[in-house]
Chains A and B, each alone.
Chain A
């Protein structure tokens, strides 16, 4: 494995909403091909931090650097143009459409010339099938999302990020609302992303999942970063202590 290159760097990032300091002076750097678990209690500022990376909020203070150059994101679409994709907790899928249609939603493949271009169903089914194969997920491109399991739905949401050649995938509680068997499937998908050199930021409440899949864990409490450690150098007990404040972090 080569030298790890810093992909995304946050320097002294803060966000306040009126008098409420949601995120307070956080500096973090992320490397490509890593899974970073982002943990903290409700209201610790995890979501606000991730929403700044995803372009939903602009930081009140501080800078973000992607591949060494400063970026300012005004809207989520701009983040996507930089290769930053977010997989929402509710997955944002259309139940009435096929898996392939969801994967390509907003980025449909078309064939034909000039203004006479029609949707290329065959190409989209084929390409979606290839992605599901890469993800080792038993998801059929032609099936309606309505009929799918939680794990398959995650695969569809993740396949969306792969269509766009994302460099950074932010995942908000991907394992919160699914069965135990499907959790393994989703963690497997996350590893597939990492192995493709993608940075995965995993927001989760579930300690076992983070310790299973993450390379690093960042803990937040009351808007501040209280720990940033390789998984191998910490334990669930320590992280729990850091989350609750029983252990004072650095």
Chain B
């Protein structure tokens, strides 16, 4: 078949339909939708306004952190400290407000704490060459311990003069949509925009694809790496602030083990731990699948002990899909 050079260059190897069918995120989304349809018919309690309200709200905390985690994972890193950072930021907020400061001060101090931790992680990783796993594992321990120190390991449930404002922030709703869900959507759109349409987004993918090439090209690799760890910690801090408003109390064990759920959500959504791949939408879809599994087991009357088995299997299955595609490609 004779084709000119022009035609060859102009041809798209991947059509839009092909790209969608070939994406892990799409199939996970299909799984979420099928599961929801099945549950709507199989149970009376799933498709109720109250349950859907609960599910969407529960998704948000993992989803918001998964957005930040996805950026870290795209660069080829990992952040194990997010669960503890969530706890510390919640506690800093709670203790500050309990001491009589307003909600603005509380949030400012809490956000500053998150950014400081993120910068610490990022600088050690980007400038001093520490492995991300080690630094953030250390921070996992440090942050939770600091939360215990800050609160003397007590439960804080009185948030000073702005108590009601905080509860409205996390527990309120607009037009029947829980506030946390709105925050999640806004943050997801923002993350998606940055990844797709800005230079820093492209550099994040470039670093994950080939860090040496990114350095040789003169990209600001180190500042960007610090930046993604700061965003990751910030996402944990924001989730912590919202969760505090929703729960109305902070204990020193909130967010324990959450890092694993968050990483699972990011990976189910198509983020590749080897770096170079992942999307904001994928993070939401991954978090949604985990929450739907959890919710459905409860509604179907399956023993809660099975939860880990199902979520773990979903993680492996999602990645299996990616492996199959790779095998096909390499043949």
Give A residues with C-beta under 8 Å from B: 76-77, 80, 88, 90-97, 101, 105-106, 108, 110, 118-119, 129, 132-133, 136, 138-143, 147
Contact = CB atoms under 8 A, between A and B. Distances in A.
Contacts of B6: 133
Contacts of A133: 5-6, 9
Contact of A94 (B11, B14, B205): B205
Nearest to A99: B9
Contacts of B5: 133, 136, 138
A94 B214 contact: yes
B9 A93 contact: no
21 contacts: A92-B212, A92-B213, A94-B206, A94-B209, A95-B276, A96-B209, A96-B277, A97-B209, A101-B202, A101-B206, A105-B213, A105-B214, A106-B218, A118-B198, A119-B197, A119-B198, A119-B199, A129-B9, A138-B8, A140-B9, A143-B13
Contacts, number: 79
A77 B11 CA distance: 34
B178 to A, nearest CB: 31
Q: Which 4 pairs across A and B sit closest by C-beta, in order of nearness?
A: A94-B209, A96-B276, A92-B213, A96-B209
B277 A108 contact: no
A222 B216 CA distance: 28
A80 B209 contact: no
Contacts of A140: 8-13
Considering residues B13, B216, B277, which has the most beta carbons from chain A within 10 angstroms of its beta carbon? B216
Considering residues A95, A97, A108, A132, which has the most beta carbons from chain B within 10 angstroms of its beta carbon? A97
B188 to A, nearest CB: 18
Interface in B187-221: 196-199, 202, 205-206, 208-210, 212-214, 216-219
A136 B6 CA distance: 9
Contacts of B209: 94-97
A126 B277 CA distance: 24
A93 B276 contact: no
A119 B199 CA distance: 7
Given A92-B212, A96-B277, A80 B218 contact: yes
Nearest to B216: A92
A115 to B, nearest CB: 11
**What secondary structure prevails in chain B residues at the interface with A?**
helix
Interface in B274-306: 276-277
Contacts of B196: 119
Contact of A142 (B14, B198, B214): B14
A80 B209 CA distance: 23
Nearest to B74: A96
A94 B12 contact: no
A118 B202 CA distance: 11
Given A119-B198, A140-B9, 12 more contacts: A92-B210, A92-B213, A92-B216, A94-B205, A94-B214, A96-B276, A97-B205, A97-B206, A101-B202, A106-B217, A119-B202, A129-B10
Contact of A76 (B199, B210, B218): B218
Nearest to B197: A118
A94 B218 contact: no
A118 to B, nearest CB: 4
A96 B276 CA distance: 6
A94 B208 CA distance: 8
A132 B10 CA distance: 11
Nearest to A157: B213
A94 to B, nearest CB: 3
Nearest to A142: B12
B13 A142 contact: yes
A139 B213 CA distance: 20
A90 B216 CA distance: 11
Considering residues A91, A118, A147, which has the most beta carbons from chain B within 10 angstroms of its beta carbon? A118
A105 B219 contact: yes
Contacts of B276: 94-96
A136 to B, nearest CB: 6
Contact of B9 (A97, A101, A138): A138
Considering residues B6, B198, B209, B276, which has the most beta carbons from chain A within 10 angstroms of its beta carbon? B209
A242 B10 CA distance: 47
B209 to A, nearest CB: 3
Contact of B210 (A95, A110, A132, A138): A95
Considering residues B198, B199, B212, B277, which has the most beta carbons from chain A within 10 angstroms of its beta carbon? B199
A73 B17 CA distance: 49
Contacts of A142: 12-14
B16 to A, nearest CB: 11
B13 A106 contact: no
A88 B202 contact: no
A6 to B, nearest CB: 28
Considering residues A94, A97, A101, which has the most beta carbons from chain B within 10 angstroms of its beta carbon? A94
